Structure 1
Amino acid sequence: MRILVADDDDYTREGLIEAIDWSDYGIAQVYQARDGEEALRLATVHQPDIVLTDIRMPRLNGIEFAEKLAVASPDSKLLFMSGYMEVDYLKSAIKLSAVDYIEKPIRIPELEKAIQKTVTAIRQLKLQDELNGQKLELEKFKLANMLRTKTGHDEEIKRLCEVAGFPAANRQYRGMAIQFGKGSKTERDRLTEIHDVWKQQGFPSIAERLDTRTLLIVTAFQRQEEERIASLAAAMLRQFPDLTIGIGDLSVTGLDGVADSCRSALSALQHSFYRPELRLFSSDRTKSATAAVRSDVFVEFSHYLKKEPEKLSAWVDAFCDELIRDATLSRDSVQSMFASFAQAMLREKNGILIGFHQIYQAQDAKDVIEQADSIEEIRLFMLELCRAYQEEVQKASPYSRTVRSVMDYIASHYGDADLDIQRIADQLHMSAAHLGALFKQETGTTIKQYISDYRLELAKKLVRNEHFKMNEVAERCGYASASYFAKVFKAATDMTPVEYRKLTSG
């Protein structure tokens, strides 16, 4: 909080400032003035929460100063002090809504009591304002949701319009879907800023938060103001460089048409997935994203995955180009499709997890794709995944089909603590002795050692990531216990897992 102390007597003014520990009352800044004019100037600039002023001052007395203060700093709370107890002054102080009136000579305990009373009153007012603001925001949110979903009775919608100051008739309406960039400020901060833009331009608006990064704004305007909507949206993009906006169809049927306008705004926003560089999308200029995935896509993908893996990257790249040209497949459909592709690649070659820095388990690949803002982000991720897949295929290519099957089985089941040569041999319908001899002959190592090395390499990757606890690393990599894992890790690296993490984290 801030306080301004105004008194023409230097001894009194400076003595009060020195005598009170203002921090006890949450007051961090103390300003002082020698007369009414200086006090008014300081109050105008600094907007103090509390003004402690003498009534009798030169150039501008306390009452005159207080009258001007009500205009210059209307939220400031007044504390009058004076040795003059004339009835007229008291009446003036009461009329000006002074919090208290303190008689000179000032008694510090009385002044402290008056300051505490004022601070308490200010905090209560701020709390009430905050609660009222939250309630109003919730009412606006409720109204926006009812209009978008076509729920709620007419009387309830009318009541909410009145509370929110949103016109219920004689207006045109548009829905706008607004998406924030990753890492933006909190929703409430951005919502307030965006509302301020529309308010400053005279457009009533309400908003609904659809998720952590998406707002749906409904604005009302006169017919002659329609052209200003698009220009104001463009101005918002200049003011907020991380926003993307989809503008919905015009509702000419009153509030009943808001739902359709909101739906078209969300559909328009979907096209930022294909053209993120544009940032402003209008429903009348975009295709409807309602098409289905063509039936032969998964057959094509499976062919290149298993028969021609060296051509898989080129196919994924060309398929992304095809999707961008068409731009009719919804974002969810594209993400779901590529997540399926990624899962299939990891099922075929789970060894990708060891060398691929972005993912630690199959679910991570799905998460990366579902969090992508654009198809270009998905393309880059999938191409990197394709390269990792092709490297795994290339590494296994010198070996026989049987040895490759052993390697693939280990890559898929390394997390099972009871994985051993007998289990693998049973899976391949071979004797353990024959399988072990064949594997060592081709690779130069035993199956047991290969399992141990595989687990250790993956464990190193997980240990380097500080998000994983050591017992979790042990469990994921197929070690029977965290203590056994630590023992094996130490024997292989001459470091404990904790020491290795410290060393590799820089």
Structure 2
Amino acid sequence: MNLLIADDEKLTREGIQSGMDYGALGFYEVRTADDGRHGLEVCADFAPDVVLTDVRMPRMDGIQMAERLQEMYPDIAIVFMSGYSDKEYLKAAIRLRAVSYVEKPIVLDEVRETLKEAAQRVRAQKRERQHLSDELRSRKAALAVRLTKADKIGRTPADELEEIGFRIPASQLHGCLCVLFPCYGTEHSQEEAGRAVEKLDGSVEQLCRSMRLERLYAIKDPSLFLYLFFSRREMSDHQLALLGSRLTGILCSSGLRFHIVMGRQVDRPEQLYASYNSAIIRLQRAFFIPENSCLPYRETDGRAFFSDLSGQRLVEHFQELVLEQKQEAVDAYLDQLLEKATGKGGSTVLPGQLKDICILMLTFLDQRTALAGAGSERDDRKANWNQVSACVSVYGLRDLMHRKTDRYFQALRKNAECSPVVALIRSYVAECYSDPALSIKAISEYVHLSSSYICTLFRNETGKTLNQHITECRLERAKELLADPRNRIADISSVTGFSDSNYFSKLFRKKYGCSPSEFRES
């Protein structure tokens, strides 16, 4: 808490300031002023919880300063000091609900007890205010959730909106809108999500004031925030676009990865369930727009035609192009698939079906990459599923597909430049990198050549030692596994062939300039 001491007598100010153990009383910062006007200037960047002030001071007396400070800080505690038994000053002190009145000459023990009492009063008020604030926030969140349900139970929305302090009477609300904020890339607990949305809501409240809107919010789950907006009249397309744009700016500045999905605008609070249902349905459409952007509601969206991709031989055609080793054709094909998915031809697809197709494509790519000597021959469908699931938009999915495709063609080019023995060694390492017992001796036995010969051959052709190649294969695989936050770092070190997680972290930092946890955060 903060304490302001105002007195025009220097000896009194300094005596009180030096004669108290403020930390024991609960004060962390103490400032002084020599009159009421100076006291107000000090409070321009200093919010006092308790004010100990003389009554009679030049330019502005303590009563006038206290009146101004109470307007700025309604919960402030005032303690007056005076050597005059002036009844008018005593009346003013009572009117301002002063905690106490200390007579001069000052007795430090009396001041100490008075300040202790004032601090206790402020703490009690803060606890009560926080309790009321938490209770009101819970009521608002519960009401927001109830308004999204068609079968509402209990009192009418109008009664409850009035009780929670809406500035606009419920009977005058004629523009109501549900907006969903799906957030990505964080493993929020319910408590952490609550703190995140409270921090976010401060900026949303300012936006609502500037646009003359009311709002309610709730947490549907730790990665999905629900907002309901209310207006006196139906919001125009321009106002809706402005709301979406400003919400996008607020969420961008918060550091979250997100989409904003708007539902259909309705006339009355009782109809908000229809706005919520339309927003839930359109959540799937958010997959087809870039991250950190807004998907406004369009009446035509409800009549969108969904294409069925299952009979279009998409995977088979992709496999044919990969086998023909035409990288430009493969890249162009993936871009065409993106255009089809985003509905540029007037239709769209279901995200789940598109992801299933991409998993099949990635599995085929992994098999071909392993044959080229730059990957594992094991079935990595689970890892592919994790990577595809981590893509929150079709653009991220496209980038993943292009990275995997590029990796395959790089392996082909490397394979073409090396001898059959080196290609065989690479293929063996790609298959067995997860085995901690993988060694040069095991590789030499596999290719039926001496250890010294394969080490010399491999270094001459690749410019690196065989042990370096084994370590790099393990670290590259570790990078892929780190992309999924569900994989524990200790488990990753184990499944990539490192028996010591500390040694794994040391090698990872040496190779990439950061620790595994830092790489994951970036």
- 1:60-459 superposed matches below 5 A: 60-85=60-85, 89-150=89-150, 152-155=152-155, 160-165=160-165, 169-172=171-174, 173-178=176-181, 186-210=196-220, 214-223=224-233, 226=236, 229-230=239-240, 232-234=242-244, 236-237=246-247, 239-240=249-250, 242=252, 245-252=260-267, 254-267=268-281, 271=285, 273-276=287-290, 279-284=293-298, 287-288=301-302, 291-295=307-311, 296-305=313-322, 310=327, 311-324=329-342, 325-326=344-345, 328-350=348-370, 365-393=384-412, 395=414, 411-412=430-431, 414-415=433-434, 455-459=470-474
CA contact (8 A) 1:317 1:383 kept: no
Question: Offset at 1:353?
Answer: 11
The SS at the match of 1:98 is coil
CA contact (8 A) 2:359 2:381 kept: no
The SS at the match of 1:118 is helix
CA contact (8 A) 1:176 1:266 kept: no
CA contact (8 A) 1:176 1:218 kept: yes
Distance 2:338 2:266 in 1: 35
Structure 1 window deviating more from structure 2 (121-130 vs 209-218): it is 209-218
Question: Offset at 1:283?
Answer: 1.8
Q: What letter corresponds to residue 94 of structure 1 in structure 2? A: I
- 1:455-474 superposed matches below 5 A: 455-461=470-476, 472=491
CA contact (8 A) 2:32 2:39 kept: yes
Distance of aligned partners of 1:338 and 1:497 in 2 relative to their CA distance in 1, 3 Å threshold:
closer
Gaps of 5+ in 2: 187-192, 253-257, 459-464, 514-522
Structure 1 window deviating more from structure 2 (239-248 vs 255-264): it is 239-248
Question: Offset at 1:78?
Answer: 0.4
Distance of aligned partners of 1:192 and 1:350 in 2 relative to their CA distance in 1, 3 Å threshold:
farther
What residue number does 1:504 align with? 511
Distance 1:92 1:339 in 2: 77
Gaps of 5+ in 1: 425-432, 487-495
Distance 2:237 2:295 in 1: 15
Distance of aligned partners of 1:225 and 1:393 in 2 relative to their CA distance in 1, 3 Å threshold:
closer
Question: Offset at 1:389?
Answer: 1.8
Distance of aligned partners of 1:417 and 1:61 in 2 relative to their CA distance in 1, 3 Å threshold:
closer
Q: What letter corresponds to residue 281 of structure 1 in structure 2? A: L
The SS at the match of 2:263 is strand
Distance 2:308 2:118 in 1: 65
Distance of aligned partners of 1:353 and 1:64 in 2 relative to their CA distance in 1, 3 Å threshold:
farther
What residue number does 2:519 align with? none
The RMSD of aligned alpha carbons is: 4.7
The SS at the match of 1:223 is coil
Distance of aligned partners of 1:402 and 1:109 in 2 relative to their CA distance in 1, 3 Å threshold:
same
Q: Are residue 5 (structure 1) and residue 5 (structure 2) matched?
A: yes
Distance 1:247 1:318 in 2: 28
Residue-pair matches, total: 474
Distance 1:103 1:218 in 2: 55
Q: What letter corresponds to residue 255 of structure 1 in structure 2? A: P
Distance of aligned partners of 1:217 and 1:91 in 2 relative to their CA distance in 1, 3 Å threshold:
same
Question: Offset at 1:194?
Answer: 0.9
Q: TM-score, normalised by structure 1?
A: 0.74
Question: Offset at 1:79?
Answer: 1.0
Question: Offset at 1:385?
Answer: 0.7
Distance of aligned partners of 1:410 and 1:267 in 2 relative to their CA distance in 1, 3 Å threshold:
same
Q: TM-score, normalised by structure 2?
A: 0.72
Distance of aligned partners of 1:237 and 1:153 in 2 relative to their CA distance in 1, 3 Å threshold:
closer
Q: What letter corresponds to residue 212 of structure 2 in structure 1? A: G
Q: What letter corresponds to residue 314 of structure 2 in structure 1? A: V
CA contact (8 A) 1:293 1:333 kept: yes
Distance 2:138 2:373 in 1: 45
Distance of aligned partners of 1:46 and 1:404 in 2 relative to their CA distance in 1, 3 Å threshold:
closer
Distance 1:365 1:38 in 2: 67
Q: What letter corresponds to residue 56 of structure 1 in structure 2? A: R
Q: What letter corresponds to residue 300 of structure 1 in structure 2? A: H
Distance of aligned partners of 1:332 and 1:199 in 2 relative to their CA distance in 1, 3 Å threshold:
farther
The C-alpha deviation readout for 1:304-356, integer Å capped at 9, x for no partner, is: 45565754333223222322324622445434442443244335535899689
Identity across aligned pairs (percent)?
22
Distance of aligned partners of 1:415 and 1:266 in 2 relative to their CA distance in 1, 3 Å threshold:
same
CA contact (8 A) 1:463 1:473 kept: yes
CA contact (8 A) 1:410 1:451 kept: no
Distance of aligned partners of 1:378 and 1:400 in 2 relative to their CA distance in 1, 3 Å threshold:
same
Question: Offset at 1:90?
Answer: 3.7
